[in-house]
Amino acid sequence: MFNGIEIIDNADLKKYCTFKIGGRGTIVFPKNVNELKRIVKECDKNNLNYFILGNGSNLLFSDFEINTILVSLKYFNEIRQVKKDEVFVGAGVNLFPLNIYLKNHNLSGLEWSYGIPGSIGGAIFMNAGAFGHSISENILNIKVLKCGKVENISKKNLEFSYRKSNINGIILGATMKFKEGNLDEIAFLQQDYLERRKMSQPYDKFSAGSVFKRNIEKNIIPAKIIDTFGLKGTRIGGAEISKKHAGFIVNNGDAKAIDVLALIEYIKYKTGEDLELEIIYVK
């Protein structure tokens, strides 16, 4: 079905997410837009679901075989300076190498993301953020594949909110704007944010980041609620509510997806809150 396109059948999905949890599935690796178009067309033709896979930093894969076709955009990894303070970044570029590129080109404004193990495509789609910042601050326009055509969409025609966007289509990349800065100052800020993460988050454990979204309108901060109910350290199987940060569920090495899902339901039951998931369950 995907003749000529790089593919891994029966892939061990534990290797493709930061949670290190999951069963088996098919992953395809398009090297360009034409191959991506073919994959989408074949999936539609054969009534197959597909899911765009970035760095897997906010995903929970099912323990069983996944019928959804996983489409990795790891080859969409271009970083290209458009103007002195504008950079085009492919959807498959991870935030670590992007931060290194920006530092080496004296471009500031994304230091807060240093240490987040995600890709730009996923970060834009969910409007990732931390420390009072979000990725949408730096967006000028995005490049998407929609209905078989490549479109460039200006930020003014997009809607971003807390951990959400209204982007319709497959994100191929984005043109981002930064501030001119100083290499040493940028490096200092990057390390400062990284150390703050290590101090406050279970950085040494397998996880998928924050499990639940904050509810800005109702001022609901899931981590505080979970902590208030004394649930830190609660375990089901190999999954545990982090003792360091109540907003994280960590994999102690042998966790199953079913353990994580059960712990999520337990949190909702104990707190009485219908908390909205930030992580995405793929089955």
Q: Which residues are catalytic?
A: 163, 210, 278
Which 8-state DSSP code applies to residue 113?
G
Cα–Cα distances (Å) from 279 to 106, 110, 128, 151, 220, in that order, read 33, 22, 12, 28, 17
Give, rounded to a whole angstrom, the gap between the first and last alpha carbons of the chain. 21
Dihedral of CA atoms 77, 84, 166, 267 in degrees, nearest 10, equals 70
* Cα–Cα distance, 133 to 121 (Å, whole number): 17
Q: How many Cβ atoms from other residues are within 10 Å of residue 261's Cβ?
A: 17
Q: Which residues contact 278 (CB under 8 A, 6 or more apart)?
A: 58, 126, 163, 209, 210, 211, 212, 213
Whether residue 2 contacts residue 28, with contact meaning beta carbons closer than 8 Å, is answered with yes
From residue 261, alpha-carbon distances to 66, 234, 237, 252, 264 in Å are 16, 13, 11, 15, 5
Three-state DSSP state, 122: helix
CB distance 24 to 66 below 8 Å:
yes
Long-range contacts formed by 232-236: CB under 8 A, 24+ apart: 234/263, 234/266, 235/263, 236/262, 236/263, 236/266
Is the distance from CB of 85 to CB of 126 less than 8 angstroms?
no
Among 10, 100, 138, 119, residue whose Cα is nearest residue 58: 119
